[in-house]
Amino acid sequence: MKVGNEMKNSDKVIVVTSVAAVFALVLDAIMFLQHGQSLADPEVWGRLLVFIILAVIVNGLALLKMRFCGYATILVNLYFAIASLATFQTIDSRMTVTGVLVQGLSIIGILLGCAGIYYGIKQRAEYTQARIKKMEEQAKK
């Protein structure tokens, strides 16, 4: 997983996307509870399952280093950041201990989503640079 003392960008994508997904999942569950929905409701689990599926897709693409993996990383982490922002904006009890805690978790979720977007941009740049290098090598032959 590590190259020297540095993590590869694909490893960073996997870590940040996974943690951002967990934050988005927890915050979304909190919002369902705030609106009086039971977490046992199949509709709730369907929505929460979307976060898990998206994270698995992005992590798989990061490992495969496919052409469009950077775009998928950017879009999914943007979705996670927006989900965290929505919780930050709609929490009912803002001035209670729970409300402040949820707002803090939301801010962390937003920052994780932004970090995922950054690593997605780097992921795309790395793919492009490798492709250019490959084309240059072919042109030399």
| Structural domains counted in the chain | 1
The mean pLDDT value for 112-118 works out to: 96
Kindly state whether residue 3 falls inside one of the protein's structural domains.
no
CA nearest neighbour of 113 among 88, 87, 86, 80:
80
Kindly state whether residue 136 falls inside one of the protein's structural domains.
yes
pLDDT at 131: 87
The mean pLDDT value for 40-45 works out to: 86
The mean pLDDT value for 10-26 works out to: 94
pLDDT at 5: 54
- The three-state secondary structure class of 6 is strand
pLDDT at residue 21 tops 90: yes
The mean pLDDT value for 54-83 works out to: 92
pLDDT at 92: 81
Kindly state whether residue 89 falls inside one of the protein's structural domains.
yes
pLDDT at 67: 78
CA nearest neighbour of 56 among 104, 88, 21:
21
**Domain boundaries, position 122:** 8-140
Tell me the whole-structure pTM to 2 decimals: 0.85
The first and second tokens of residue 109, run together, are 């979720």
